Structure 1
């Protein structure tokens, strides 16, 4: 078996533990414990058990500020790649209906074509739950122990998991992999945590998003803005610096130009100042242009924050394992 050792999802975290082979004498409960049940953690656990290791996977989802939580599988399965692609496909189908007229299709009334948000989110969540179930069954079949608990280090070989009922479960492993992934970052402005949603919430939102403000123009922000606009919800995007930072900027310009042609409003060099909930239940957002210093405001039904993500390493108590943690961002 190839040696298994420390691994961490954060590029800011320095590995200080030596690589260890399989535990031949049974000193530890497991050869490998994986903290995190997302794509990386599950792939690691499956490969290790294929090589003869005794493996446990710990996974727990702390609810978002809006109370959203989900099952096993990580960001990609529950609040990332899969639901995003499903909603993107729904948006494409809607656009195709409108475009079909040019190909001879007789559509009774284009004005009557609209998305049923509740039906869409239910279909998306049903698919996600089926993937959650298949993932659980796969772990069971491979004899990987699944622990639905929030793990933290007691020492370099001991993990304490806080289970859903509040009880504690302690386990030891010769090797531990940190694969906790990340969660959306919220800007430090009034109303952000109280009233705004993120990509953690949008795919299971209990009501149509309506007129939406997206704060952030990375790929997550623009993907959400794109499918929401195509689903028929007026969408505005605040761009702090450049859209799709880190991507080819010629392609980024093509993307944003296409979005504007489709009706998405883009405000460049703008950052949010506050989000206030009105008596009507709508949200009044204020922002400022960093170049002109001009402030503006508008009323929205939903404000979606997409200003980046941070690694979920804060509550791992890494110092107990001898891991030097340098910083979040």
Structure 2
């Protein structure tokens, strides 16, 4: 590492000549190949964070290997290189969500004058949908493989684990073992869905690992869990024509602003999704008909209920895949009870072993977070950079039927940190222009800004429920990074008529008690 660090310092001195970048890479790889390790960096896990770190490390002249292997789900589903986001997460979820939106748009087109024959007979072809989604995923898998090859990153399709702090063993598909050594190791194994310990869960239930490639239409579906994965799946399934019921153990969207969570679930109920509050699953039984009999308990009334479903989808959280990689052999002991790694600036208690992405304790489980953290880590390891990942004010969106986008803290967290008397909450209901033809429900189109009460009222959190919430919140996320205040927001001229401009029109506080409903679309 000392030799490589010296090379980096020399490079910074002569870089103004603009002729040294390729030379630096050649020199560094030469030293790596002649050193005591096979690689400068080995990454365990081929998801977004691990791949971003690997590719940036190569850009900095490091010799890199990526170990990645997908253990099949209990239902036998597995996938290619790219991690959760590409294969069974963000990408297929957004495509399914889009399919649901298109279905609703076809029906609404009639009100706009489109002559759509036999609207009542319109239904989704589940096989065609899943095939289209899987074709796109496979294309991304292929592009990712080609990208690693072009960047001369050694891709090892094997299940990696530690033999000692610098040695990894990869178990290949045929059972053979491959051993390699690395000066630095990045753990980026992510997580997999958790199954509740009830009869029939492993045998008969699916998870988000399975739904996007399910070989048959899901039919009437029970979703167990009301986090963002559970609500998103219930939302697009219901909109695609498959009735959905959701079991909510405690509160929906735990960790998010709870007022906004209630707005989201109110919209879901109005769309026909059945929500069973304060309920936990007891068992799932497969009948001779092929249907599944699910039983659950209402923990408030102690009443038991049961119903028949075609599919039961478990969405009760995820666990980190750290037990499979033999962390004790590496001396890594900074592991939380749920298996996640506790790391300071992505560094474990072993100085040359790092972690990025969903495997980290207390960090947002978001693809862009893992990617950015991975890149910054590689620059710190191999180019002497100092920039750390900033995990604050990271925006995200829940792709429920009416989307929820947010950045910053919830109202509850703001009050907890600063006190209710020191917080001002601006809020409003609004009327999206596109909801007037046809007359769609606008009762749950709502947004709010959580700010400090003292001038200039720095904004702590922005929350928006409505159409294209992800597109709306992204721009405001940049403003949050710059420390935007309510004064600045109110003095921003909006683009009319858009739903994003509603943030610039906020002027009513909860404290005032005034009606937050607009008088008109231009008020």
Coarse TM-score class (shorter-chain normalised):
over 0.9
Q: Secondary structure at the match of 2:261?
A: helix
Q: Secondary structure at the match of 2:35?
A: coil
Q: 2:77 aligns with which of 68, 71, 74?
A: 68
Structure 2 residue 28 is matched with structure 1 residue 38: no
Q: Point out the structure with max Rg over C-alpha.
A: 2
Q: Distance in 1 between matches of 2:60 and 2:261?
A: 43
Q: 1:260 aligns with which of 266, 269, 276?
A: 269
Identify the residue that residue 306 of structure 1 maps to in structure 2.
Answer: 315
Output the TM-score relative to the length of structure 1.
Answer: 0.93
User: 1:2, CA displacement in angstroms?
Assistant: 7.8
The structure 1 segments of at least 4 consecutive aligned residues displaced by more than 4 Å after TM superposition are: 21-25
Structure 2 residue 132 is matched with structure 1 residue 133: no
Q: Secondary structure at the match of 1:227?
A: helix
Q: Distance in 2 between matches of 1:328 and 1:151?
A: 20
Alignment of 1:224-303 (within 5 A): 224-303=233-312
Q: 1:199 aligns with which of 193, 199, 208?
A: 208
User: 1:102, CA displacement in angstroms?
Assistant: 1.6
Q: Distance in 2 between matches of 1:108 and 1:173?
A: 63
Identify the residue that residue 228 of structure 2 maps to in structure 1.
Answer: 219
Identify the residue that residue 14 of structure 1 maps to in structure 2.
Answer: none
From the superposition, tell whether residues 49 and 155 of structure 1 become closer, same or farther in structure 2 (CA, over 3 Å): same
User: 1:114, CA displacement in angstroms?
Assistant: 0.2
Q: Secondary structure at the match of 1:49?
A: helix
Q: 1:169 aligns with which of 178, 191, 211?
A: 178
TM-align CA RMSD: 1.5
Identify the residue that residue 458 of structure 2 maps to in structure 1.
Answer: none
Q: Secondary structure at the match of 2:69?
A: coil
Deviations 1:146-201 (A, max 9, x none): 00000010000000000011100000001000000000000000000000000000
Identify the residue that residue 337 of structure 2 maps to in structure 1.
Answer: 327
Q: Secondary structure at the match of 1:175?
A: strand
User: 1:250, CA displacement in angstroms?
Assistant: 1.4
Q: Distance in 2 between matches of 1:247 and 1:99?
A: 31
Q: Distance in 1 between matches of 2:229 and 2:336?
A: 26
Structure 2 residue 60 is matched with structure 1 residue 51: yes
Q: Distance in 1 between matches of 2:336 and 2:294?
A: 34
Unaligned runs of 5+ residues in structure 1 are: 4-20
Unaligned runs of 5+ residues in structure 2 are: 7-27, 340-523
User: 1:302, CA displacement in angstroms?
Assistant: 0.1
Deviations 1:228-272 (A, max 9, x none): 000000000000000001111111111101111111000000000
* Structure number with higher relative contact order (C-alpha < 8 Å, ≥ 6 residues apart): 1
Q: Distance in 2 between matches of 1:212 and 1:83?
A: 18
Q: Distance in 1 between matches of 2:297 and 2:170?
A: 44
Q: Distance in 2 between matches of 1:39 and 1:2?
A: 27
From the superposition, tell whether residues 2 and 257 of structure 1 become closer, same or farther in structure 2 (CA, over 3 Å): farther
Identify the residue that residue 153 of structure 1 maps to in structure 2.
Answer: 162
Q: Secondary structure at the match of 2:107?
A: helix
Q: How many residues align?
A: 312
Structure 2 residue 188 is matched with structure 1 residue 179: yes
Bigger proportion of residues as helix: 2
User: 1:108, CA displacement in angstroms?
Assistant: 2.0
Q: Distance in 1 between matches of 2:270 and 2:336?
A: 43
Q: Secondary structure at the match of 1:190?
A: coil
Q: Secondary structure at the match of 1:66?
A: coil
Q: Distance in 2 between matches of 1:144 and 1:182?
A: 24
User: 1:111, CA displacement in angstroms?
Assistant: 2.0
Q: Secondary structure at the match of 1:217?
A: coil
User: 1:107, CA displacement in angstroms?
Assistant: 2.3
Alignment of 1:2-41 (within 5 A): 25-41=34-50
Identify the residue that residue 15 of structure 1 maps to in structure 2.
Answer: none
